[in-house]
Amino acid sequence: MKQATLVRNQAEEVKALQDTIYVIGGKWKLPIINSICNGNKRFREIERSIPGITTRMLSRELKEMEMNKLIKRTVYPDSPVLVEYESTPYCKTFGNIILAMIEWGKEHKKYIQEN
Amino acid sequence: MKQATLVRNQAEEVKALQDTIYVIGGKWKLPIINSICNGNKRFREIERSIPGITTRMLSRELKEMEMNKLIKRTVYPDSPVLVEYESTPYCKTFGNIILAMIEWGKEHKKYIQEN
DNA sequence: GTAGTTGGTATACTCTGTGATACTGATTAC
DNA sequence: GTAATCAGTATCACAGAGTATACCAACTAC
């Protein structure tokens, strides 16, 4: 009985984990979410805040994330045109994951430097 | 002054985030770590516990993770030969990330089902 | 004797995420 | 008049992550 419950939970959890990886997988989604949640709004501003990203990648990911309601894109058609990206509440649900990963990265760096 | 500190921390955090993504990126590393941390020891056992993974992928990732000291591989040369994988303390440092991701996956599923 | 398990390796292939480079039209700045 | 910024788009190309399938030798179970 106990065994059955255990196995079942494990299966459920692997699937949950795989779902999450599917959604935020890849090199750029989390850094972009992080950047926008940190208050970066403009395209070039976000671009500059993420080392190594190319215009193309940022453009593609932003589009996809807008479609998936992770971010909101607003155009102010004054002259010159102004575009702003904002995080949605849904986007903020990744907060814990991002924090945990930043934490790990920092610890890892310490660890590397000590050896 | 405050601005400078803020910007600097942001830059540091993006890099930490990117480092982490570099280490655990890809489709399989976290599910494998999770499986082993859950007590799965044998090759086929781990394989069965991760939906969709192929023998080849598991084999490749396990090798890499052994090289990076994430797991320990032990061979018991009795007949028949027995191989066991174990997580190292280092491997367990991913615990928080994995938990956060499982949590998100579960919430996401609920959310999807309600809509 | 036949089917199944274990711990993998071998080969061949696909595909797509990612990178590099260049360019646009509008505007501002010197 | 030249350079820079803004918000991107357009092409081209590639490595390598991931898939599919078959196979191995040793052993167990029926």
DSSP letter at B83? E
pLDDT band at B1 (very low <50, low <70, confident <90, very high): very low
CB atoms within 10 A of CB B4: 8
Please give chain A's pLDDT, 115 residues, in tens: 445 555 568 999 999 999 999 999 999 999 999 999 999 999 999 999 999 999 999 999 999 999 999 999 999 988 788 999 999 999 999 999 999 999 999 999 998 888 8
Nucleotide nearest to A62 (CA to C1'): D8
Q: How far apart are CA B35 and CA B115, in angstroms?
A: 31
Residues B40-87 have pLDDT tens digits of 999 999 999 999 999 999 999 999 999 999 999 999 988 789 999 999
Contact by Cβ (8 Å): B94, B30: yes
Query: What SS3 state is found at A76?
Result: strand
Calculate the alpha carbon distances from A51 to A32, B6, B72, B85 in Å.
11, 17, 34, 36
Question: Which segments of chain B does DSSP mark as H helices, in order?
Answer: 2-24, 29-37, 43-49, 55-67, 89-92, 95-113
Q: Which of A18, A30, A33, A94 to mutate to test the interface with B (most CBs of B within 10 A)?
A: A18
Q: What pLDDT score was predicted for residue A78?
A: 80
Interacting residues of A77 by C-beta distance below 8 A, sequence separation 6+: none
Distance of CA A101 to the CA centre of its chain: 11
Main-chain phi, psi angles of B15, to 5 degrees: -65, -40
pTM over 0.85: yes
The amino acid sitting at B21 is I
What pLDDT is attached to residue A8?
Answer: 61
Chain A residues bordering chain B (beta-carbon distance below 8 Å): 10-21, 23, 25, 27, 30-31, 34-35, 38, 49-52, 93-94, 96-109
